[in-house]
Amino acid sequence: MREIVWDTETTGIMPGDGHRIVEIGAVELIGRVPTGRSFHTYVDPCRPMPKDAEGVHGLSTAFLTGQPVFEAVIDDFLAFIGDAPLVAHNAAFDMEFLNWELRRARMPAIPVSRMICTLELSRKKHPGAKHTLDALCTRYGIDLSGRTKHGALIDAELLARCYIELVGGRQIGLGLDEVAVPETAAAVPVCAGRTPRFFAASEAELARHAAFVGGLTDPVWLA
């Protein structure tokens, strides 16, 4: 099964207030295992970046000016996600922004039925606990040292590892069927098999054993 774990960064929290997507990051899972394939782009929102939003992700107006606009990157993103389920943390937020941008570009919206929300999964699995991405990483022992600010790609990579844990870890079933992985997926090193060992006794060992047994007096099996 192919799934896409993704994240966005934005200029604010409500697209209806004129806020826009400024970064998209996504990683591919096959059979709940990362393949190494990813998608990442910055997006020029064609509007100033509020200071409070810049404080979250560190993306300034100066940095984003001149980046590709949404209409220039959306075809590549849609090609990357294909028809796979879309996994996100607080997925309704990201889907609302994505579909707002799609409608603005006069493109069809993505059905919310494709959405898998890790926030909802975490609330069901860990009631009463904290459910932020940082809290999930801490709970599952996932290294956060490389994440100083929010970033769409690094957050998608971290979320992919949390999602795997939320749904039961890499061994999510007892099936041993092989999973088809596309040729574009990162190669996984294959360990060479160990040479079979020969455990049968040699003629010399059999002879020594017979001599030992023959020298026994009053063995228990003859009692």
CA distance 90 to 136: 13
Question: Is 150 annotated in the active site?
Answer: yes
Say which residues have a Cβ less than 8 Å from residue 155's Cβ, sequence separation at least 6.
7, 25, 89, 133, 147
Q: What share of the chain is helix, strand, coil (3-state, %, to 5)?
A: 40, 15, 45
The single residue of 89, 126, 150, 209 carrying the catalytic annotation is 150
Q: Are 41 and 98 in contact (CB under 8 A)?
A: no
Q: Are 107 and 70 in contact (CB under 8 A)?
A: no
- Both tokens assigned to 7: 């994240």
Angle at the Cα of 59 (from 9 to 135), degrees rounded to 5? 50
Q: Which residues are catalytic?
A: 150
